[in-house]
Amino acid sequence: MSFEKYFDDYQVPDLFLESKMFEDISRKNDACPSFALVGSVLDDDHFLKVWVEHKDVDLREAMTCRFAITRCCSLFDEKTIFECNSVHDFLPFLIAHFAGEMSMLNRIFRIYQVSKTNELFSLIGPSASYPACSAEHLFRFLNMPNVFLLLTNDGYLECRKFTAGEDSEVDRRFRNQVLLDNLKHLQKCLSCEQVSFSSCNCKG
């Protein structure tokens, strides 16, 4: 195992060594051993990771707690979602929150996938309405330059439009997974320029 090569004195609990739930992904330059949660891996860049610090508090380099779960993805910095000092606290959190965390991660992953195709929208920089922030990204639709997707590092997703200098949400009923499921229906009326997830009823 790679952690034994780089962190031979860390006394990693047997849970991480014997269970098929975890894969050792420790690297030489890491601050401590790390393990991918196997059931969360969507690709090499999108998964949940567990960091295991030294048992001795005085020898810990990166964290105050011994265990930390982080969310890894390409669009955002790695985010810590839980910290604790006992495996007995670690496992209940994982069981209770795994589904919710994977829902967030899957939304981020789907937006990342679509953005790479350049078919629907492209990543743009910060705007006046949304100052520079590592916790959110804006995506612009190629065929609707004033329509954007706002994605946060927690997987929250909504659709917004900029008209006459004003920023507003397209439809608050379409957020997160509902938005993703209906993304292909998003359209802009050529007559009245209304943006919606259904056909426009204008008489133009």
The answer, yes or no, to whether residue 133 has pLDDT greater than 60, is: no
Cβ neighbour number for residue 193 with a 10 Å cutoff: 14
Highest-confidence segment of 57-71, 112-126, 187-201: 57-71
pLDDT of amino acid 188: 86
- Using CA atoms, how far residue 160 sits from 19, 138, 169, 179, in Å, is 44, 10, 4, 12
**Contact between 195 and 186 (Cβ < 8 Å):** yes
Q: How confident is the model at residue 117 (pLDDT cuts 50, 70, 90)?
A: confident
- In the chain, where the domains are located: 2-113, 118-196
Q: How confident is the model at residue 39 (pLDDT cuts 50, 70, 90)?
A: very high
Q: Which residue has the higher pLDDT, 116 or 69?
A: 69
pLDDT of amino acid 200: 75
pLDDT of amino acid 132: 46
pLDDT of amino acid 90: 87
Contacts for 160-166 with beta carbons within 8 Å, 24 or more apart?
161/195, 162/129
pLDDT one-digit tens code per residue, 164-179: 778 899 999 999 999 9
Entry field: residues in the chain: 204
Distance CA 158, CA 46 (A): 21
Q: How confident is the model at residue 138 (pLDDT cuts 50, 70, 90)?
A: confident
Give the residue-averaged pLDDT of 108-130: 72
**Residue-averaged pLDDT of the chain:** 87
- Using CA atoms, how far residue 95 sits from 98, 101, 172, 194, in Å, is 6, 11, 31, 44
Listed in sequence order, the residues at least 6 apart from 60 whose beta carbon sits closer than 8 Å to its beta carbon are: 32, 53, 54, 66
Distance CA 117, CA 100 (A): 27
Q: What's CA 25's distance to the chain center, in Å?
A: 19
Give the residue-averaged pLDDT of 47-57: 94
Q: How confident is the model at residue 140 (pLDDT cuts 50, 70, 90)?
A: confident
Give the residue-averaged pLDDT of 151-161: 92
The answer, yes or no, to whether residue 88 has pLDDT greater than 80, is: yes
pLDDT of amino acid 125: 56
**What are the backbone dihedrals phi and psi of residue 89, each rounded to the nearest 5 degrees, phi first?**
-90, -30
pLDDT of amino acid 204: 57
Percent of the chain with pLDDT over 70: 91
Listed in sequence order, the residues at least 6 apart from 77 whose beta carbon sits closer than 8 Å to its beta carbon are: 134, 153
Q: Find the range with the poorest average confidence among 38-42, 66-70, 192-196.
A: 192-196
